């Protein structure tokens, strides 16, 4: 697949249990306009065995839209 693709990401731990991740991404295939999106994802660590996060992605290009995801991970 030809074109330009990029991803920039930053993660900051606010406390021992809470962190936030921000991402900006884009892609351009041949002569199409650049498709941009921004994602914010706060996460919470309950203990060594359980994590949860919410992810909200806003598409900034024409047609836009918002994607929302919830994820939990339990290990034992």
CA atoms within 13 A on the CB side of 26: 10
- What confidence tens digit (pLDDT) does each residue in 3-25 have? 788 999 999 999 999 999 999 99
Q: What is the pLDDT of residues 22-58, one digit of tens each?
A: 999 998 877 677 889 999 999 999 998 999 999 999 9
Is the model more confident about 76 or about 56?
56
In this structure, are residues 23 and 38 in contact, taking their beta carbons and an 8 Å threshold? yes
2 token code pair: 């030809």
Domain ranges of the chain: 4-74
């Amino acid at each position: 697949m030809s074109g330009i693709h990029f991803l920039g990401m930053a993660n900051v731990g606010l406390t021992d249990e809470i962190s936030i991740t921000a991402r900006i991404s884009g892609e351009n295939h041949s002569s199409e306009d650049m498709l941009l999106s921004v994602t914010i994802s706060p996460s919470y660590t309950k203990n060594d065995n359980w994590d949860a996060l919410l992810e909200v992605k806003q598409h900034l290009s024409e047609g836009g839209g918002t994607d929302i995801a919830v994820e939990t991970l339990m290990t034992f």
